[in-house]
Structure 1
Amino acid sequence: MISVPTRAIRPACPPFPGATPAEPGTPADFVVVGVPYGSPYRMSGVHSDAANAPAKFRERAATRFAEHGNRYDFALGGTMLGDTGCTLIDVGDLDGDPRDIDGNGRAATAFLAGIVSRGGVPLVLGGDDSVPILLARAFEAASPRVNVLQIDAHIDFADVVGGIDDGYSSPVRRIREMPWIGQIVQVGARGTGSATPQDLTDAVAAGNLLFPAASVHQNGIETVLEAMDTTLPWLITLDVDGLDPTIAPGTSCPLPGGLSYLQAETLLSAFGDRHRLAAIDVVEHFPGLDIRDTTSLTLARLLATLIGRSARQKGSR
């Protein structure tokens, strides 16, 4: 049996806007946790700028939105949690061991699986784009299965890169191989990345539904929503480069033509109204590349909208 190491938790200071700081293991409806460390391709990636994102994101979001959890939100028609009775906590960030990359991943998956087993929705702050694999693995013992919605400029369906099969170019391929995963919907692909023509062929053959950014701009977000299964809960993986760099410049691979703020907000808002949220991760935020905290503020607003909509649906069940 492969051992599962434990990792220390660094308290969130400040916490995500509207969240209550809490000890790990505290039951709650929504649980914010930072997972800074994934599976890098090279030594420089062991602690890339993306690993700074969980703490920097909270810090920058708090400068504008620290007290906004109890303020009227025009995107929600009330406060973030309203009268839903739902709870939102922030348990801090998982620490890592630079000498045990695989152990960091196992520890993260075990921690996230604990949140799921207590009925919570993990709100994961990454970290690079290998973190979604760790989150998806946390649902192995969950019932029912989960679907996956990816918002990303890239399809992330490479098999092996530099001898590594669980890095940031491969999360959707690895997730597709998990038998507890149902439908996969991919939104926002554009330009070029690590994908080869064969990777695209493989993704389509595997049954993934692809909505490139150009398709969204031409046909609207509703076409995506209409294609999404309504029977299973959803794990959302949001790569910052899926958004247009005018609203989210703080990423390593910005590409023109991404989702606008209105498109992303419409997608997440309507998702919260129609679907059950199992988890979300936000990855590939490089705070050192941000401009006037634009990326942090964009992400804070999108997460607040998703949490608020999902809480209202959860509270009505």
Structure 2
Amino acid sequence: MAQENNPEWQSDLNRRGAAKLGTFMGVPEAKDLSKLDAKVAIIGAPCATPYPGLGHYCASGPKAIREGIASHAGNLMHMDFDLLGPIFPDGKVSVVDCGDLPYDAKDSAANRIAIRSGIRMVLEKGAVPIVVGGDDSVTIPVIEAFHDKGKLTVVQIDAHMDWREEVSGERWSGSSPMRRASEMPHVERIIQIGQRGVGSARLSDVEDACKWGTTIFPAREVFAKGVQPILDHVPAGSNVLFAFDCDGLDPSIMPAVISPAPGGLTLWQALEIVHGIAAKARIAAFSLVEFVAERDIGKQGALLAGRILVNVMGLSVRQAAQSCVNASNSWR
């Protein structure tokens, strides 16, 4: 963290601008999680439990998203109109990039352990993890890592329900994150947004989800009624873990997905959901998954994914700063 307030580093960052910096928007690197000292930690998770036969199809996602937003690295202290101020309003870069977790294309169980352990270390250091995937199954060990951190509200933005019990005998793949989340005692609420078209969900999966108590806002309903009904379902003061699948966005703006589905959310709908929830609840973690770099067009999808993460960064550091103020006031 010594770099964050270093004028020479900031000046050098501004000069480099569009250079490929290796970290997300050129924020300081912190690969040793045992020494993590930051409010927010970006951590890449290239692979967890990919579908049988597909391999690690999203493994290049974290690298591609870092490269897609690299051109904005010199603007960290500039006005960001999505956030109505600089990303870091106090002028201090309180976000670090922890690099990518190791993965084994043939050992999904080991991948899940690595992700769960990595997120645990981030949480123990008091930082908010922003996870960049990686296939959708990455979300499962991310949620598991919160097992003793209090109750969670999981907000999923996705074209699909992800309530399959198994696919080809695999219970931990990208078709099952919400089913697995529903089995975790610390998950008290699941809100699903953006579902549309035909996917892997059976009628029985929908019935199981509704029986458990999940609330579903299909994409068509979001377009018809706006985002306010979604915000109304998030309790004030709750801890929210976002599970953001890139295919929740419309493929016209996010082509870099494995299963494109027409009629997805716009960028502004997605940001209104994230900003609206952040205004009343705490961002406990944000997991962005299913970015298939090989299907991107002119790095536009990577830039879009990067901008969503920038918004999450900015909101998270603002929440952390407010928490510090509240904690300070409590001593008086």
Q: How much does 1:149 deviate?
A: 0.4
Match of 1:61 in 2: 69
Tell whether 2:103 aligns with 1:104. Answer: no
Partner of 1:201: 207
Post-superposition Cα deviations, 1:80-105, rounded to whole Å, max 9, x if no partner, equal: 02128671000100121234221121
Secondary structure, counterpart of 1:310 in structure 2: helix
C-alpha separation in 2, matches of 1:28 and 1:109: 19
The aligned residue for residue 40 of structure 1 is: 50
Point out the more displaced range, 224-233 or 84-93: 84-93
Contact 1:183 1:229 in 2 (8 A): no
Q: Deviation of residue 18 (structure 1)?
A: 5.3
CA contact (8 A) 1:250 1:291 kept: yes
Letter in 2 for 1:29: K
Matches within 5 A, 1:1-317: 14-17=22-25, 19-25=27-33, 26-45=36-55, 47-48=56-57, 50-62=58-70, 64-83=71-90, 87-142=94-149, 144-317=150-323
Shift of 1:302: 1.4
Residue matched to 1:9: none
Q: How far has the Cα of 1:287 moved from its partner?
A: 0.8
Q: Is the CA contact 1:28–1:88 (under 8 Å) kept in the aligned structure 2?
A: yes
What TM-score do you get using the length of structure 2 for normalisation? Answer: 0.87
Unaligned runs of 5+ in 1: 1-11
Q: Letter of the aligned partner of 1:254 in structure 2? A: P
How far is the alpha carbon of 1:313 from its aligned partner? 2.7
Structure 1: distance between partners of 2:193 and 2:274: 12
Shift of 1:199: 0.3
Deviation at residue 22 of structure 1 after TM alignment:
1.6
Task: Give unmatched runs, 5+ long, in structure 2.
Answer: 1-19, 324-332
Structure showing greater Rg: 2
TM-score if structure 1 supplies the norm length? 0.91
Question: 1:122-161 CA distances to partner (integer Å, 9 max, x unpaired)?
Answer: 100111010000100111122x221100000001000011
RMSD: 1.5
Rounded Cα–Cα distance in structure 2 between residues aligned with 1:103 and 1:310: 29
Cα distance, 1:84–1:266 mapped onto 2, change above 3 Å = farther
Instruction: Compute the displacement of 1:68 (Å).
Output: 2.3
**Matching residue's letter, 1:82:** P
